Amino acid sequence: MDVNRDWYKELLIERVVENLKKRGFNASWSRTREEAKNKLLEIIPKTAKVGIGGSITIRELGVIDELTNRGNTVVHHWKSGLSPDEDFQIRREALMTDVFLASTNALTIDGVIVNTDGIGNRVAGMIFGPKHVILVAGINKIVKDVEEAIWRIKNIATPMNAHRLGLNTPCAKVGYCVNCSSNVSICRVTTIIEYKPSKTDFTIILVNEELGY
């Protein structure tokens, strides 16, 4: 254990949390993914309908099964065997839930949330529709500023997600962005959330672990 590294990481997360609060978000942090999962289960009412955006982080928490097992209706499109129409309808339904769970591609030190989608349902859910949005992000998502956030999305998050999805994009082959115009590109919609959307309850939980891409 490196106490100096731990000291630095905790100060960094606390700094980001305070800056998020200044921007109107309900923000906190957890030391572990298990602690973050328990916090989610406390926040989300047992009667709530919960939508899930495309997120490795949320799945790494293991919270979906726990929500389902305790009686929550969970709406998510990462299911095998769905037809294109079924997939589309599930994505739409998730935007009208009581709680929308997702992560973010990047989060600046001063509290700006930056994301890029291929379809747009995840970023749409963060802005308007669900009554309460909850984002969970590992410390690996923290970046200096918006410019670095976009670089991270293009050169870290997107190549890994494109490779995971088996897409025939250049970044899925070389591991970095080449500014392609591929017809299967997942870099199509970029959003920058500077302050809490005025009509949406918005909670952000940072985790002192690496989560997601």
pTM over 0.75, yes/no: yes
CA dist list (Å): 139 to 14, 21, 40, 153: 11, 17, 17, 15
Distance in angstroms (rounded) separating the CA atoms of residues 141 and 192: 14
- Which numeric CATH code is attached to 3-143+189-207? 3.40.50.10420
pLDDT at 31: 97
Q: Going residue by residue through the chain (213 aa), what tens digit of pLDDT does each one get?
A: 689 999 999 999 999 999 999 999 999 999 999 999 999 999 999 999 999 999 999 999 999 999 999 999 999 998 888 999 999 999 999 999 999 999 999 999 999 999 999 999 999 999 999 999 999 999 999 999 999 999 999 999 999 999 999 999 999 999 999 999 899 999 999 999 999 999 999 999 999 999 999
Domain boundaries defined on the chain? 3-143+189-207
Distance in angstroms (rounded) separating the CA atoms of residues 116 and 94: 18
Length of the chain: 213
User: Nearest CA to 29 among 41, 43, 15, 45?
Assistant: 15
- Which residues touch 137 (CB under 8 Å, ≥6 apart)? 57, 103, 104, 107, 204, 205, 206, 207, 211, 212
